[in-house]
């Protein structure tokens, strides 16, 4: 494939894919590029549109397949919005949390884990063994706060 773009994230994705014996196709790398260069999270349709802009024709099913695969690999994260919608954001590595601007759907990463120091003891009293968590912070980004 020809390369119209280049970035560390692209090579990161290549690497993860190769480790798993998966192919680095133009479509997959385009999805990475699109998500990584967007400051806001994107819907499936938006990703599809942007990938089509890059590569010409691209099947929607491929986008779905790629996103599902990438989510499993920790390359992208699916985010849920208060209005019920959802979108995807690039996410290098497993344990990163995200702040989402409720106005522009902009995504901001942060590595600190808010529940790191939380004592699960009281919660696990019920017998529930916590293994994982999903956290999203909602609020306003600087731009949207200024615009308001």
Which residues does residue 94 pair with via DSSP β-bridges, in sequence order? none
CB of 112 to its own copies, least distance (A): 6
- The answer to whether 58 contacts DNA (rule: CB under 7 A) is yes
Residues 108, 101: Cα–Cα separation, whole Å: 8
CB of 139 to its own copies, least distance (A): 4
Residue selected from 16, 44, 73, 102 as contacting DNA according to rule CB under 7 A? 44
φ and ψ at 109, to 5 degrees?
Answer: -80, 155
- The answer to whether 148 contacts its own copies (rule: CB under 8 A) is no
For 17, the token pair is 């894919």
Closest CA to 5 of 27, 23, 29: 29
Site residues (vs DNA, CB under 7 A): 1, 17-18, 22-28, 43-45, 55, 57-62, 64-66, 68, 84, 86
């Amino acid at each position: 494939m020809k390369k119209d773009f280049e970035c560390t994230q692209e090579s990161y994705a290549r690497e993860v894919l190769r480790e798993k014996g998966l192919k680095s196709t133009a479509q997959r790398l385009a999805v990475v590029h699109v998500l990584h260069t967007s400051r806001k999270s994107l819907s499936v349709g938006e990703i599809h549109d942007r990938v089509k802009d890059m590569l010409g024709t691209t099947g929607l099913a491929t986008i779905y397949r790629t996103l599902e695969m990438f989510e499993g690999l920790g390359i992208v994260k699916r985010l849920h919005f208060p209005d019920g919608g959802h979108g995807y954001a690039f996410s290098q590595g497993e344990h990163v949390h995200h702040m989402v601007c409720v106005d522009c759907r902009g995504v901001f990463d942060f590595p600190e884990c808010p529940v790191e120091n939380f004592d699960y003891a009281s919660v696990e009293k019920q017998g529930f063994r916590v293994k994982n968590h999903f956290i999203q912070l909602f609020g306003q980004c600087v731009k949207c706060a200024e615009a308001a």
